Amino acid sequence: MKLGLASTTVMIAALSATTLSADTLRLLTWGGYAPEDVIAMFEAETGHTVEVTTSNNEEMIAKLRATNGGGFDLAQPSQDRIAGAQEEFGIYKPIDMSRIDAAQFIPSMLAATAANSTYEGEVYGLPHVWGTSGLVVNTAEAPQVTDYTDLCDDSVAGSVSYRLKRPTLIGFGYSMGLDPFAAYADIDAYQAILDEVEAALIACKPNVKTYWDGGDEIKNLLRSGEVVAAMAWDTGGWQLNADNADITFVAPEAGALGWIDTFVLPARGRADDAAYDWINFVMRPEIASMITNAAGNFTAAVNGDVDVSADLKARYQASFDQAAIDNIKWYPPVPAGLEALEGAALDRINASN
């Protein structure tokens, strides 16, 4: 009992000591971006503790909106969802560039993300992980699928899948010879594109097995062979490729859609010190490699591929030659209000028979 009391006292003393110098970092991120081993190394080095909540773009913004930017200290939405969300809801606070080790970031990505996430002269986002959406195809069953609209081909009827979300609208738009990103600023032109894509997706609906929702769901459908071609993320395709050599990610002819997930500071975050520590920590080349190995996507860290497994590099190179990389369509910032138009179109597609 005496020993118990003593150890408890020591523990309480230790706990109160750490709370003086360290914070709890409440991180709102995607699955795979904060692997256990990285968190353990970070906690050992800085004394901060990390609490991870995994989510997606829409839920991140919805969560922060519900609390006016509270409840989390660091979030990771995609770079196109920062300026618009800040304009509408004011849920982020500006990044203090002097606290960032900018040399750890690939300069072109840092500059591009800063430009896209600037609102009223302040920068709100730093690049972290990037990747693409395109096609994941079982090349033994459906080698003819090389572009988004090929998913509507009769030869793959009943065994394709895609999400009922905005990337699908945009991917199909490009595949149909339209240019949705160029029309972002012009509501009427964008609505015209949406109308065309909506008609195509309604016509395509009988071909679809189901609209997938989560990364695990689409991997499951492809692995079981129930789905032979899908619009999905590159990393899912490469993970499946490890189990089944026939399935892999294919960069569509119309161009893969490129996204960059970022670091942003929620407006009412309480542990900015820990947040900056985390950013500078995970952008180190060896840590960035660990995250790439866990998440399957490459990072914006200089030399971030130093320890990345040779298999993953090979898969990436097999999916992307230089022409395919040059053809990636990077998401520009979404103007506020555009989602309402897309939402109405998606609702109508969902309701059609």
Partner 1 sequence: MTDKSKLGFYLLLMPLLLWLITLIILPHIGLFMVSISEKIGVRQYETGLGNYAVFFNEPLYWRTFARTAFMSIFTTVLTLVLGFPVAYYIAKLTRGRTKTTLFLMCLIPFWVSELVRTFGWMILLRETGVLSNFLQYTGVIGGPVEFLYNDGAIMVGLVYTSILFMIVPLVTTLDSLDDSLIEAGYDLGGSGYSIMREIVIPHAMPGIVSGCIVVFMLSLGNYLTPILLGGKDSLWFTGLIYTQFITRFNWELGSAFGFLLLALSSTIVFLGLKLSRQSLSDTMGR
Query: Environment class of residue 9 by beta-carbon count within 10 Å: exposed (0-12), middle (13-18) or buried (19+)?
Result: exposed
CB neighbour list of residue 135: distance below 8 Å, 6 or more residues apart: 145, 146, 147, 148, 151, 229, 230, 231, 232, 237, 249, 250, 251, 252
Query: Which residue number, 99 or 205, has a Cβ lying nearer to partner 1?
Result: 205
Q: CA 84, 344, 113 angle in degrees (round to 5)?
A: 25
Q: Are the C-beta atoms of 248 and 69 separated by less than 8 Å?
A: no
Query: Which residue number, 64 or 282, has a Cβ lying nearer to partner 1?
Result: 64
Site for partner 1 in 324-353 (CB under 8 A): 336-337, 339-340, 343, 346-348, 350-351, 353
- Written as six digits, the tokens of 273 are 């010190």
Query: Which residue number, 87 or 253, has a Cβ lying nearer to partner 1?
Result: 87
Please select the residue that binds partner 1; options are 87, 196, 272, 273, rule is CB under 8 A. Answer: 87
Site for partner 1 in 190-219 (CB under 8 A): 205, 208-211
Amino acid at 243: D
Least gap, CB of 216 to partner 1 (angstroms): 12
225 binds partner 1 per the rule CB under 8 A: yes
Please select the residue that binds partner 1; options are 45, 58, 311, 321, rule is CB under 8 A. Answer: 58
Query: Which residue number, 143 or 214, has a Cβ lying nearer to partner 1?
Result: 214
Q: CA 197, 256, 246 angle in degrees (round to 5)?
A: 110
Helices 187-204 and 166-175 sit at what angle, rounded to 10 degrees? 90
Least gap, CB of 62 to partner 1 (angstroms): 5
CB neighbour list of residue 270: distance below 8 Å, 6 or more residues apart: 23, 73
Least gap, CB of 226 to partner 1 (angstroms): 5
Cα 52 versus chain centre, distance: 16
Number of Cβ within a 10 Å radius of residue 97: 11
Least gap, CB of 27 to partner 1 (angstroms): 20
Least gap, CB of 231 to partner 1 (angstroms): 14
Please select the residue that binds partner 1; options are 38, 61, 123, 264, rule is CB under 8 A. Answer: 61
Least gap, CB of 336 to partner 1 (angstroms): 5
Q: Are the C-beta atoms of 263 and 67 separated by less than 8 Å?
A: no
268 binds partner 1 per the rule CB under 8 A: no
- List residues binding partner 1 (CB under 8 A): 58-59, 61-62, 65, 87-90, 158, 165, 205, 208-211, 224-226, 336-337, 339-340, 343, 346-348, 350-351, 353
